[in-house]
Amino acid sequence: MGLDDVLHALRADPARAAVFSDLDGTLSLIVDDPDTVVPVDGAPQCLTALAETIGTVAIVSGRPVAFLERFFAPPIELSGLYGLEHRTGDRLLVDSTAIEWLPVMSTVANDARVVFGTEAVEDKQYSITVHYRGADEPFVADVLAWADTVAAETGLDARSAKMSVELHPPTSRSKGDAVEDLLTGATSAVYFGDDTGDLPAFTRLAELHAAGSLDAYAVVLVRSHETDAELHEHATDVVDTPEEVLQILQSMLDAASSS
Ligand SMILES: [Mg+2]
């Protein structure tokens, strides 16, 4: 399985094709200040055109929907915070567990800002990320120890990501669940991702194919020196840059438009 199979399926039945992509490190370069992340030139336009042509196009991100909305409008679907938020059309749906944990998350975010400084803390309302890219070793050790302590004391989940640690409400919901929910009858699907949080989506597409729910699928890994080896094991295709992701999306749009 891989991109060739998905392109073939896309030509044959664009209405039952789904395209999913992460944002950071996949459609955008990784930058030191996460608030300045932007998708590569042309990516939102290409995805919009694709969303108007095929069954489903969705951004599946650890970012909140409020951030993703800066770049992506309907009919692109948005799944934020690893599946805790879902924007479809003008409706935003939030997982009930995430809402229950809002007060705890707010307290923890304030604590993180006091301990590590506002620049290191990305407050996503329903979850937080503490970044340590470029920081010295003692700072990294402090962040990891702090996250473990907070997780033990509050019941929040601590999850590691690229040069950062995240605290989430204790729910098993993942990008894999988000992708499965968004498939809604699709028979082919592709997922583009670069980080550990994408792994549940990588494996879910393979499982759905093995179970007969998907005729064709591809998992495209955008690799870097920070890439977890486990991601390589589950990728069907590998690229090196967000620009290459955009080229693949363009070829999908061409394939869907020519059918
Ligand atoms: Mg990413």
Which tokens in the block code for residue 101?
Answer: 């944990």
Q: Output the CA 258–ligand 1 centroid distance in Å.
A: 31
Q: What is the predicted pLDDT for the residue at 210?
A: 98
* Interval between CA 194 and ligand 1 midpoint (Å): 5
pLDDT of residue 66: 95
pLDDT at position 31 is 86
Q: How close is the Cα of 199 to the center of ligand 1, in Å?
A: 11
Distance of CA 27 to the CA centre of its chain: 10
Measure the CA–CA gap between 186 and 200, rounded to whole angstroms. 18
Q: Please give the distance, rounded to the nearest whole angstrom, from the Cα atom of residue 259 to the centre of ligand 1.
A: 31
Domain range list for the chain: 3-94+174-257, 98-168
pLDDT score for 134: 92
Q: How far is the CA of 114 from the centre of ligand 1 (A)?
A: 27
- Ligand 1 centre and the CA of 30: distance in Å? 8
- Fold category of 3-94+174-257 in CATH: Rossmann fold (3.40.50)
Per-residue pLDDT of the chain (259 residues; tens, 9 = 90+): 999 999 999 999 999 999 999 999 999 998 888 889 999 999 999 999 999 999 999 999 999 999 999 999 999 999 999 999 999 999 999 999 999 999 999 999 999 999 999 999 999 999 999 999 999 999 999 999 999 999 999 999 999 988 999 999 999 899 999 999 999 999 999 999 999 999 999 999 999 999 999 999 999 999 998 888 999 999 999 999 999 999 999 999 999 998 7
Instruction: Write out the two tokens for 255.
Output: 């394939």
Classify domain 98-168 by CATH number: 3.30.70.1020
Structure tokens at 17: 């094709």
pTM score over 0.75: yes
Instruction: Output DSSP code: residue 214.
Output: -
Supply the pLDDT for residue 85. 96
